[in-house]
Amino acid sequence: MARARIALFVLEALPNARVVRRFVADHRADIALVGLSNAERPSSGGLTGQVRRHLARSGTGILPYLAVNFGLPDLLRPLAPLTQAVAGSGDAPESTPLKTLCRRLGIPTLTVDDVNGPEVAQALREAAPDLILTYHFDQILKAEIIDLARLGGINGHPGLLPRHRGPVPTIHALADGPGSFGMTLHRLAATIDTGAILTQEALPLPADTTATRAAVALHAHGRGMLDRLLDEIARTDRIPEGRTTAVLPYCPFPDRALLASLRRRGLRLTDGRDLREAVSLSGRAA
């Protein structure tokens, strides 16, 4: 049973870091390439441009969420050797930044400014993967890039598609109430979160769950779903056809009104527990 060779594309951040690092360590023989999204790429306006856009749409209420999920993990990543030594986590994959882990395992990496640019296309041609996997990735692949993998692609989405299509599904699930959280693996498509659903599971979460903690839990839950799907692909040498659904409206980053509604209901995007996890992400083992 031949395993599919995988080109993995991620934005390493709090929601996915531990599970993706463990996945790479466990599947080292199957991974042909890891593409690491540059969140501060010029095409997205750089850090300043992105913050301005978020402030214009969401107001200052979004800043703690952005800091805990993205800012602190990115800022503290270079300090990982020191924090690992202090925490005694050694070389545990879960506490090792992905680029460092890949270098240790001999897996090629690429910093991705434009996933549809010539550099990525050339890297995919050279790596010749059977499958592209995106797991918390913030760029949309065009069809011609997806087609560079023999079997196509799969995306992990921490939401119950076709609901909550977009970049922050756990915020919208939090707003919708209990029973709205889940994980979906679907075929990668050129339009965001619209590919056929391959497998999907709802996940009950505690009442005090934040949007941040939900995203971490759902990405972790998706690991088992992903392993089962990859086993099926190894047996059949194809991605299942999946289940097509109606395309529902896109759910962007929240506006001020949605954030105000969450606050009135005592629902939080992030909290002190999430902050502690973000600070310890590249130091403490899971």
Task: Judge whether residue 266 has pLDDT over 90.
Answer: yes
Across 19-35, average pLDDT: 98
Task: Judge whether residue 127 has pLDDT over 90.
Answer: yes
The residue with greater pLDDT, 285 or 10, is 10
In three-state secondary structure terms, 191 is coil
88-94's contacts with Cβ under 8 Å and 24+ in sequence apart are 89/283, 89/284, 89/285, 90/285, 92/285, 92/286, 93/21, 93/22, 93/24, 93/25, 94/18, 94/21, 94/22, 94/285, 94/286
Q: Which of 187, 201, 207, 221 is nearest to 266 (CA)?
A: 207
Across 118-138, average pLDDT: 98
pLDDT at 87: 72
**Two tokens at 174?**
């939090």
Local confidence band at 36 (pLDDT 50, 70, 90 cut-offs): very high
Task: Judge whether residue 104 has pLDDT over 70.
Answer: yes
pLDDT at 152: 98
Q: Which of 19-33, 66-80, 220-234, 266-280 has the lowest mean pLDDT?
A: 66-80
Residues of the chain with pLDDT > 70, as a percent, come to 99
Task: Judge whether residue 164 has pLDDT over 90.
Answer: yes
Residues in the chain: 286
pLDDT at 40: 85
Most confident of 36-45, 76-85, 263-272: 263-272
From residue 245, how far is each of 163, 164, 248 by CA, in Å? 10, 13, 9
Local confidence band at 39 (pLDDT 50, 70, 90 cut-offs): confident
Across 148-172, average pLDDT: 98
Task: Judge whether residue 265 has pLDDT over 90.
Answer: yes
Task: Judge whether residue 211 has pLDDT over 90.
Answer: yes
Local confidence band at 122 (pLDDT 50, 70, 90 cut-offs): very high
pLDDT, tens digit, 9 for 90 and up, residues 235-249: 999 999 999 999 999
Fold category of 6-280 in CATH: Rossmann fold (3.40.50)
Across 175-203, average pLDDT: 97
> What does the mean pLDDT of the chain come to?
95
Give the distance, in angstroms, between the CA of residue 207 and the centroid of all CA atoms in the same chain: 23
pLDDT at 286: 65
Local confidence band at 113 (pLDDT 50, 70, 90 cut-offs): very high
Across 50-68, average pLDDT: 94
Across 212-224, average pLDDT: 98
